[in-house]
């Protein structure tokens, strides 16, 4: 092992954390934009996706450099491979935040649909899952990662409840269909954010325990 | 470089191809199941997802072994990293086929909704994108990969046309809302299959040209 490897791995972790904090910020902003019908904030989220894409490219390049020049083995190798995969997931989370942002911009331009949907709980849990999955990664905390997996069912149930509410709205107000479908998409994408957080949590458990829990729960 | 490396990389490619052919088969089956309202075929697709998950785990384990024991560099390293990422995408394509399969099972149990939606074209293009992206990977064929990227807009347009048709159905037949939403989800997931194929195609171009085209098109 080269003497430089621990430092390079530390820097790689910092780089990934900077990406994840940028993604978390986008998620937080888009959730606020939805709650406050704030199209300007939603537009910021859409614009921030380019930065997220560039950060992902930089993290991947660094992983390749470390693999090529440092040839890490054992837990260091697993860390780099986990970083590659988490990096990919974070970039796609950025895409989801952007998609939600575009829907929020649409929703801000039309009258608020007549439906009693509260997105706060699903938004809060999904956001918290993203944050906790990355905290679990930083600290190699398997218990925290398992907690993220447990929340996946809650998010699914909240999404199903929102879906039911939105469908009932579609039946009663077919003239508001477009806006209700956008809200349907927002619910789905918030749930998918939670899903991506479970991928990260599974990766953390795998990295720490070399124990594949992916696919053993019912998501896939 | 160890003398074993070319053989190991060849075997890894075969293993990934076996996974991709399994995924392609699931996609083909679920498309037939949808067209023929064949719940039994759809159930086969749902069941096949476990095999896909296991194949993905095996490919990843092999990548880690090669990275640890063979320490590939340059284009060999890029090939292994591309394999890791494509492997991940293929597993998620399997998840999408499974999701569509579940929707088809639901749709087989209810009357056919009164809507003139033809899924054949979007299904054919998405399937073809999956196949061509993997052919591009096998042959390092950048032109073929670029063709996959070009199809992405066609799939988007077909999805939008299906969405418009389904929305009109929802307005006219609110009593069929549930089935129409399932078809909406099928359209979305077929489009996402095409999206995942573009991820693979982008990865192939990156691998061959070391040229990042990801994020330069408008998907992300």
> pLDDT digit string (tens) for A155-173?
999 999 999 999 999 999 9
**Residue B34's pLDDT is what?**
95
CB within 8 Å of B26: residues ≥ 6 apart: B45, B48, B49, B52, B94, B97, B98, B101
Over residues B203-208, the mean pLDDT reads: 90
Q: What is the pLDDT of residues B122-168, one digit of tens each?
A: 999 999 999 999 999 999 999 999 999 999 999 999 999 999 999 99
- Cβ of A49 and B220 within 8 Å? yes
* B4 CB within 8 Å of a chain A CB: no
Query: What are the chain B neighbours of A84 within 8 Å (beta carbons)?
Result: 81, 84-85
Alpha carbons within 13 A on the beta-carbon side of B153: 5
- Cβ of A81 and B98 within 8 Å? no
Q: Assign residue B188 the CATH number of its domain.
A: 1.20.58.220
- Cβ of B174 and A178 within 8 Å? no
CA B120 from chain center: how many Å?
A: 16
Nearest to A161, CA basis, from A183, A178, A182, A179: A183
* A169 CB within 8 Å of a chain B CB: no
Is B217 a domain residue? no
- In A178-217, the residues whose Cβ lies within 8 Å of chain B are 178, 181, 184, 212, 214-215
Count of structural domains, chain A:
1
Is A28 a domain residue? yes
Query: What is the nearest CA distance from B73 to chain A, expressed in angstroms?
Result: 5
- Quote the radius of gyration of chain A (alpha carbons, Å): 19
Is A106 a domain residue? yes
Is B192 a domain residue? yes
Asked whether residue B59 carries a pLDDT value surpassing 90, the answer given is yes
- Cβ of B88 and A88 within 8 Å? yes
Query: What is the nearest CA distance from B65 to chain A, expressed in angstroms?
Result: 9
Query: What is the nearest CA distance from B119 to chain A, expressed in angstroms?
Result: 20
Is B197 a domain residue? yes
Beta strands in A22-178 (DSSP E): none
Q: What is the pLDDT of residues B175-184, one digit of tens each?
A: 999 999 999 9
* Distance between CA atoms of residues B197 and B217, nearest Å: 14
Host domain of residue A21: 5-209
* B111 CB within 8 Å of a chain A CB: no
CB A61 within 8 A of CB A44: no
CB A185 within 8 A of CB A103: yes
Q: What is the pLDDT of residues A65-109, one digit of tens each?
A: 999 999 999 889 999 999 999 999 999 999 999 999 999 999 999
Is A216 a domain residue? no
Q: Is A3 helix (H, G, I), strand (E, B) or coil?
A: coil
- Cβ of A220 and B171 within 8 Å? no
Nearest-by-Cβ selection for B212 from A57, A94, A215? A57
Phi, psi values for residue A212, rounded to 5°: -80, 105
ipTM given for this complex: 0.86
Phi, psi values for residue B23, rounded to 5°: -65, -45
Residue of A nearest to B176 (CA): A171
* A81 CB within 8 Å of a chain B CB: yes
**Residue B217's pLDDT is what?**
52
Asked whether residue B218 carries a pLDDT value surpassing 60, the answer given is no
Is B214 a domain residue? no
Sign of torsion over alpha carbons A35, A40, A42, A45: negative
3-state helix, strand, coil in chain A (%, to 5): 85, 0, 15
Model's pTM, two decimal places? 0.90
CB B201 within 8 A of CB B148: yes
Query: What is the nearest CA distance from B103 to chain A, expressed in angstroms?
Result: 15
Asked whether residue A118 carries a pLDDT value surpassing 50, the answer given is yes
Nearest-by-Cβ selection for B170 from A63, A170, A215? A170
A·B CB contacts under 8 A = 77
Torsion (CA) A135, A53, A158, A195 in degrees, nearest 10: -60
Q: Is A173 helix (H, G, I), strand (E, B) or coil?
A: coil
Is B216 a domain residue? no
Nearest to B89, CA basis, from B171, B146, B19, B14: B19
Alpha carbons within 13 A on the beta-carbon side of A147: 16
**Residue B211's pLDDT is what?**
61
């Amino acid at each position: 092992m080269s003497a430089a490897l621990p430092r390079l791995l530390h820097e790689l972790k910092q780089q990934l954390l900077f990406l994840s904090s940028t993604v978390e910020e986008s998620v937080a902003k888009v959730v606020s934009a939805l709650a406050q019908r704030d199209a300007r904030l939603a537009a910021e989220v859409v614009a921030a996706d380019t930065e997220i894409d560039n950060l992902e490219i930089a993290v991947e390049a660094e992983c390749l450099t470390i693999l090529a020049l440092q040839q890490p083995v054992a837990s260091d190798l697993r860390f780099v491979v986990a970083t590659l995969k988490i990096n990919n997931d974070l970039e796609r989370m950025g895409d989801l935040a952007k998609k939600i942002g575009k829907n929020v911009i649409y929703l801000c331009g039309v009258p608020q649909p007549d439906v009693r949907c509260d997105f706060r709980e699903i938004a809060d849990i999904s956001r918290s899952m993203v944050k906790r999955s990355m905290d679990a990664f930083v600290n190699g905390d398997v218990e925290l990662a398992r907690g993220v997996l447990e929340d996946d069912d809650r998010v699914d149930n909240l999404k199903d409840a929102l879906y039911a509410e939105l469908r009932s709205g579609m039946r009663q107000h077919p003239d508001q269909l477009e806006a209700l479908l956008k809200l349907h998409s927002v619910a789905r994408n918030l749930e998918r954010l939670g899903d991506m957080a479970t991928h990260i949590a599974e990766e953390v458990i795998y990295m720490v325990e070399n124990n594949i829990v992916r696919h053993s729960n019912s998501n896939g």
